[in-house]
Amino acid sequence: MIDTNNFNSIFEKSINEYHIKNDITTKVSNPYNEGTLENLLYKKNWIDTVQWHLEDIIREPGINAEKALEIKRKIDKSNQDRTDLVELIDDFFFDMFKNIKPDNNAFIATETPAWAIDRLSILNLKIYHMREESERKDADSKHKEKCSFKLAVLLQQREDLSTAINQLFDNIKSGKAIIKTYKQMKMYNDPSLNPVLRASEKK
């Protein structure tokens, strides 16, 4: 269902299920059928959730160089997987709305639906972890108060972004907005486009 209440529920489900084990090596167990939007959204948020914790690990002050490089490689791969999945979600919407004829004065949004949903996925992660901090048993009252304030801001941001995404879909469905898919064309993971990788292959 194309509604951000549904999107947020899927993201919360993914985040909660990841934190049952709270382990970056846990394999995703997607409860939604392949080929569905729900499946793509769950998979997308799972990638975001694992990467959130990879970003925590790599910031450990005492991490050794070998471990840091290993985590950096995982983050690089995660970023590529995330981008690929966002583009798949945009392709899903493009196919869904392909028969809608835009008005002559239809506008082009500054970002695609899937990239807006990407931000919504990250917001749900921020909310989960900020709520966790606001309820931490070993934290003092000042820390909890500060985190509670930030949590309220994040919840408002989620509400606003959810509304904006729903409005974008309404405009697409009514022909007032044009839906296009934009490819990120990332170059640094492709040996044919990254001169450093290209040179290393020739050694």
State the amino acid at position 23 in one-letter form: D
**pLDDT recorded at residue 181:** 73
Q: Is residue 70 scored above 80 in pLDDT?
A: yes
- The verdict on residue 13 lying in a domain is yes
pLDDT at 166: 97
Residue 64 counted as domain residue? yes
Domain-embedded: residue 111: yes
Please say if the pLDDT value at position 115 is more than 70.
yes
Nearest to 169 by CA among 36, 5, 38, 10: 5
Three-state helix/strand/coil letters over 141-154: HHHHHHHHHHHHHH
Q: What is the mean pLDDT of the chain?
A: 93
Strands of the chain, DSSP E: 107-108, 177-178
The confidence band for 99, taking pLDDT boundaries of 50, 70 and 90, is very high
**Does residue 196 lie in a domain region?**
no
Residue at 201 is within a domain: no
Residue 178, Cα to own-chain centre: how many angstroms? Answer: 23
> CA quadruple 76, 82, 85, 86: dihedral positive or negative?
negative
For tokens 């490819």, the residue is 183
Whether 200 is in a domain gets the answer no
For the chain, the domain total comes to 1
pLDDT at 64 over 90: yes
Joined tokens for residue 134: 């606001």
- Detail the DSSP E strand segments found in 130-190: 177-178
Residue with tokens 């070993």: 138
pTM: 0.89
What is the residue range of 80's domain? 4-190
35 occurs within a structural domain: yes
Q: What is the mean pLDDT of residues 59-87?
A: 95
Q: How confident is the model at residue 5 (pLDDT cuts 50, 70, 90)?
A: very high
